[in-house]
Amino acid sequence: EVQLVESGGGSVQPGGSLRLSCAASGFAFNVYSMNWVRQAPGKGLEWVSYITNSASTIHYADSVKGRFTISRDNANNLLFLQMNGLRVEDTALYYCARGYQWAFDMWGQGAMVTVSS
């Protein structure tokens, strides 16, 4: 079955860190670019970060630049998002999404991150 499964979400205090993982299965992970997209409770979607299949090119939204780091392990079909310096406004459901022709053609079910004191 083709799927993406996120893990690593949780609750953290402002200034803290979390590392999200996304396990891919059922497709050739090393061929596809990948993204992280988030959705704050009751709000819309926000693109967070992008990484090419070889990790040669990486982009971040201005809102997370300098605090979040995207990476991938093609040998184990894993995508990561290291989140440092977390803020209350980073509270959201974080989706990993496969890239296809400038779109996101496959999504996981999301990992919830709550930043609160």
Partner 1 sequence: QSALTQPPSASGSPGQSVTISCTGTSSDVGGYNCVSWYQQHPGKAPKLLIYEVTKRPSGVPGRFSGSKSGNTASLTVSGLQAEDEADYYCTSYAGSSSWSVFGTGTKVTVL
Binding site for partner 1 (CB under 8 A): 35, 37, 44-47, 50, 59, 61-63, 95, 100-110
Specify the residue, 63 or 91, whose C-beta has the smaller distance to partner 1: 63
**Are 114 and 91 a contacting pair, CB within 8 Å?**
yes
Specify the residue, 83 or 96, whose C-beta has the smaller distance to partner 1: 96
Specify the residue, 12 or 87, whose C-beta has the smaller distance to partner 1: 87
Q: How many helices, marked H, and strands, marked E, lie in the chain?
A: 0, 11
CB of 7 to partner 1, least distance (A): 15
Tokens coding 68: 């979040």
Specify the residue, 62 or 117, whose C-beta has the smaller distance to partner 1: 62
* Euclidean distance between the first and the last CA atom of the chain, given in angstroms as a whole number: 39
CB of 105 to partner 1, least distance (A): 5
The number of beta carbons lying within 10 Å of the beta carbon of residue 6 is 22
> What is the distance of C-alpha 2 from the center of its chain?
18
CB of 17 to partner 1, least distance (A): 24
